[in-house]
Structure 1
Amino acid sequence: MKKIFNIVTLFFITVILMSCAKKQNPILDLNKLSALMDSNPDSVYNTLICFSDKLSNRDYPLYCFMLVQSMDKTYRTIDTDTLINIAIDYYKDNPDSAFLSQVYYYAGRVYEEMQNYPQSINYYLKSIDYIAATTDWYDAFLSCYYLGNIYSRQELFEEALSIQKKAYHFAKLNGDSAVVGQTLYSLSFAYQDLGKNDSALYCLNHIDADSDSCLMASVYNNIANIYYNDSSYDVALKYIHHSIALQNDSEELCYNDVLLGRIYLGKFESDSAIIHFKRSMLTDNLYTNITSCLGLGEAYELKKEYNKAVTYYKEAMAYKDSLEKRERRTEVIRLNKIYQYEQIKEENYALKLSESRRKQMLYSLVSLLFLSIVLFVWIYYRMKLRREAKIKRQMIALNEEKSKCQQLEFEHLKSEKKLLEIREQEAQLRDAFFLRLNSLCFPFLNDSVSDSHRIKISKQNWEDITSNVNSVFNNFTVRLRDMYPLLSEEDVHFCCLLKMRLPLDVLMQIYCIQKQSIYKKKERIKKEKMGIDDNRILDDIICSL
């Protein structure tokens, strides 16, 4: 019996010792992972993301920083600033830390990914300031390079040029020809944004021709585009063919075809332009399709095949509508992500606040055992601090929302401006089409004749003129009669001639009256028939309808 009791006792002691034994956690060698970051970032990311054990207060900020770094290097989406803020809060209290400049750089990358450009610019500038005291030229180049890109997107072109020059300086100090070539390429765009094409060409021509083929293809594309804008079409053709020879991206080849189409259009070689514009439409890129359809419309218009021209112009407008719908959908998705991100932050804050309250309750109970008066004073002081902190948080949140609303309003105005420009281009194309249509349908209105010759317009001619005006300008005569019912048929015909922008001499020959009589006729129609009494002339009123 005693032997059985001893065995049972030994068994329980063994179980207790095993349950109390400390579990051996796998060791996470952060220094080793940091050495592998540049060569194998995917493995580093998988190792970090699979690690679930608790780290020390010293290692956890480094873990957060390296996780953000590996996500950036593996092109993963970063939609929260929680991890990088942990690293910032830790390393900013250690000014001599070698990681601080890199932490600020990746904070800039995180906020750039989240489209919070003011915060991104702030951290890139901090990174540059800290790197300036070291010799880490590559990190300095990266900070300047991405900061320059943000300045360009914000249309701060002078600032973009200045910071890209710094990026070029650091790239030269780094000594990597590929980095220097990429910097010169970005610097050329900064010069182009300021209209300094000669400086842009200088940068592009000084890129090492033995650089990466994709980079050189883009370089030749850019050079060709500059010469195309300067109407140097033969030189542009030479460089665009250099680009095609190096190109292995089908999307970029479509862009090459667009540029070739524009060049041939500039040389009035409409057949060649049509071939390349049609080839460029094999892509799914809506911007390329819009440009290609507009180019095809111009080419067929040059060939006087107006039906095809109108078809492609309509197709371009359809693509524009699709693009606008996609941009609206993207904006909704982006706003939804912002909302989800804010919701997650609020939930995290609520959890932290809940944990804090539990701890405070425990401290309160312990304090109650010693001194109730001290507890009362402490609770009162704590509640006061909470109210002040809550007011402060609300003010910060209100300022952040105000800043976001201003940013959204700016982006909305920018989109509206772009849409207005597209509509103005459409109006110009429509006017040009109308003038050409009139010159083809009524060539006798453009003939150079003596002052004594009268131009006779038959009833059929008047019907054709009215039909053309209504077709191009959305039932112009119908709207004119609705707005000004006092106008007679002859007055409407006269307004149609003004809409055709016929010169005064032609109007005199049509109506067989003097110049002064034409002016009086315009004033009579404007004041008596239309009831308009201001400083505008009738021509401007008709053209504005």
Structure 2
Amino acid sequence: MKRTTAILHVAAALCMACLFSCGDGMDREAEIAAIDSIADTDAPRALALLDSMKPHMAGATEAEWSLYSLMRVKAEDKAYIVHKTDTVMLRLIDYYEEDGDKRRLPQVYYYAGRVYADMYDNDRALPYFQKVVEMADSSRTLYYKAQAQMGYIFLYQGLYEKGFNAFSKSYKYNKTRGNKSNQAYALCGMANCLQRMNGYKQAMQYFKQALILVRENGDKSYEADILGQIANNYYYLKQYRIAEKYAQQALAGVDSTTARPIYAIAADIYNKVGKEDSAVILYNKLYALDDVYAKYSASKRLGHYYLEHKNMAKAAIFLDEYDRYTDSIQAIIQTETVAKIDAVYNYNIREEENERLKEEITTDRFIITVAAVLVIAAILAVLALIQYSKKKRLAERMKHENEKRYLNSLYEQSSKFISDNNSKIEALKQELAASASKNMSLAAALKAKEKQLSNLNMMAEIRTKNRELAAAGLENSDIRTKIFTLLNDNTANDFDKKLSTEDWQSLDKEVNSHYPEFKERLSALCRISDIEYRVCLLLKVGVSPKDIATLTIKTKSAISVMRKRLYFKAFGKVEAPEKWDEFILSL
């Protein structure tokens, strides 16, 4: 097979050399077509040929330039060069949809999808892959490739059944063609979808089928990858000894492309089977990788390991590193988000420019119509802005009122409130003694005010007593006991410290039974998501932010940001996260 490929490359290179020697009269489209076949098996060589061809593109037609650009996008994709802009791709779509060779459209749509996938814009990538599936016959290569790409998008978006179906179609195509490597990729995709649906036993069948295929194909790197995935699957099934066997096989074939996932799962498995020293060796190897995610994962585990073994110096180093890499990962996520926003913004700018160019070649009548529409749009925009400003001012005023009510509620629950009222009562008694004989109506008013203050104190004392009873009841509840037992279980890994759906429902019910309308009062303040509400429930039962991060599978910094954001949403002020904790405990 390798010899055949080499012969094809030599033949293509000779063809290119002959075509280049033909001067200005050469058939550029034939040259580019010759490069197309090379890109499928040797992308770097295809890119080198395209680079050498560029000086000969002077005077090329739009059709030739478009085909040249399409082949460059393809070769870059095959060479794993990440695309960061869709400028070229948008021009190619316009050209091939309007004037170009329509037989190229499936290929154009496929690489449009790949470009948007590189830009983390799956919402725009998916429709192009769907177009490929609709246009390409199910026996063509692009059909299975598009199905595989759709499978990964569905998998990452949580649409596991759709992902499984897409990978299944990709597998069936490759089975008819006898492509064992692509069959294995599709089978692993199907298994990954099944895992997310808790179908671990069925997923195992697909992983093992994929393993047989890659072994027949002699692909050692992918074999190690699949062995690692099988070990991970047995880990989820809690069959740790079998998981250890597959992890050891995966470690024997690990390389730079598979090191991170294999080291991570193997180390976790060694921990479970009591081989802590072996686990630490792998965590150190994981930490040594030039990969921020690997360092993030390893530093946390090593920090906890040295903490448990009373080596405070090393524990401090690795836990500091964990915090640093947590910030790094958050920065990466933010950068990717900003890149996506920039991409959408740039796309809108290009669309506006296209509209402007079209307007220049239209009639005066059309220009007048557009101008009228723009004027109306501007008026509507101004009205919308005014309405938005009013709503914003109203929202800010409501947030200010929320904070005033909250602070007043805190005061009314305090001992100072009772003390202040007692001082006022004492003053009234003195005033009453002085005025009783002189002015009967004033004396009656003062006596009523004294009674009102005494009633307020009585209510404050009742509220305080009720809060004490509610806190005691909640503290002795089964669900709170279960939470703290889970958190204090030193034999369990942090990743295993999770609450079930039933546990969350029980916690919700228990908190709201002791503190009636807890949820309603939060919802009345601001819009609150499910995860934010769960954080509030845990705060109410006295769980620390660090342990909340464990139970919600979030980072410590993410929990801090969430609490700070909630205070701002409720009261319109930027405060420390602890201010939100105080508010929750005051409800």
TM, length-normalised to structure 2: 0.55
Superimposed CA distance per residue, residues 229-251 of structure 1 (whole angstroms, 9 cap, x where no aligned partner)? 222222112111211222221x6
Matched, 1:287 2:293: yes
- Give the 5 Å matches for 1:15-414: 25=24, 27-39=26-38, 40-47=45-52, 49-56=54-61, 58-92=63-97, 97-132=102-137, 135-136=139-140, 138-207=141-210, 208=213, 209-211=215-217, 212-249=219-256, 252-300=258-306, 312-313=318-319, 315-336=321-342, 339=345, 342-343=348-349, 352=357, 356=360, 380-387=364-371
CA distance in 1, matches of 2:53, 2:116: 22
Q: Is the 8 A contact 1:105 1:143 kept in 2?
A: yes
Aligned length: 375
CA distance in 2, matches of 1:43, 1:315: 42
Match of 1:536 in 2: 470
Specify whether residues 126 and 290 from structure 1 end up closer, same or farther in structure 2 by C-alpha distance, changes over 3 A only. same
CA distance in 2, matches of 1:277, 1:74: 31
SS at match of 1:203: helix
Q: Is the 8 A contact 1:270 1:302 kept in 2?
A: no
SS at match of 1:181: helix
Match of 1:16 in 2: none
SS at match of 2:108: helix
Q: Is the 8 A contact 2:200 2:236 kept in 1?
A: no
CA distance in 2, matches of 1:391, 1:82: 30
Q: Is the 8 A contact 1:280 1:288 kept in 2?
A: yes
Q: Which amino acid aligns with 1:286?
A: V
CA distance in 1, matches of 2:57, 2:375: 36
SS at match of 2:279: helix
CA distance in 2, matches of 1:316, 1:202: 37
User: How much is the aligned-residue C-alpha RMSD, in angstroms?
Assistant: 4.0
Q: Which amino acid aligns with 2:280?
A: I
CA distance in 2, matches of 1:334, 1:121: 15
Match of 1:430 in 2: none
CA distance in 2, matches of 1:534, 1:296: 41
Q: Which amino acid aligns with 1:382?
A: F
Q: Is the 8 A contact 1:48 1:67 kept in 2?
A: no
Structure 1: gaps of 5 or more residues: 1-23, 361-378, 399-479, 487-525
Deviation for aligned residue 1:56: 3.8
Superimposed CA distance per residue, residues 144-165 of structure 1 (whole angstroms, 9 cap, x where no aligned partner)? 1111111122222221111111
Identity %: 22
Q: Is the 8 A contact 2:119 2:340 kept in 1?
A: no
The structure with more helix, counted as a fraction of residues: 2
Q: Which amino acid aligns with 2:267?
A: G
Structure 2: gaps of 5 or more residues: 1-22, 39-44, 382-409, 417-459, 475-539, 544-584
Deviation for aligned residue 1:204: 1.4
- State the structure with more CA Rg: 1
Q: Is the 8 A contact 1:273 1:299 kept in 2?
A: no
TM, length-normalised to structure 1: 0.59
Deviates more, 1:28-37 or 1:202-211: 28-37
Specify whether residues 88 and 286 from structure 1 end up closer, same or farther in structure 2 by C-alpha distance, changes over 3 A only. closer
Q: Which amino acid aligns with 1:188?
A: A
Q: Is the 8 A contact 2:70 2:92 kept in 1?
A: yes
CA distance in 2, matches of 1:182, 1:260: 22
Deviation for aligned residue 1:95: 11
Match of 2:572 in 1: none
SS at match of 1:155: coil
Q: Which amino acid aligns with 2:247?
A: I
Deviation for aligned residue 1:296: 3.0
Deviation for aligned residue 1:51: 4.9
SS at match of 1:247: coil
CA distance in 2, matches of 1:99, 1:86: 14
Superimposed CA distance per residue, residues 204-248 of structure 1 (whole angstroms, 9 cap, x where no aligned partner)? 111211332111111011011111222222211211121122222
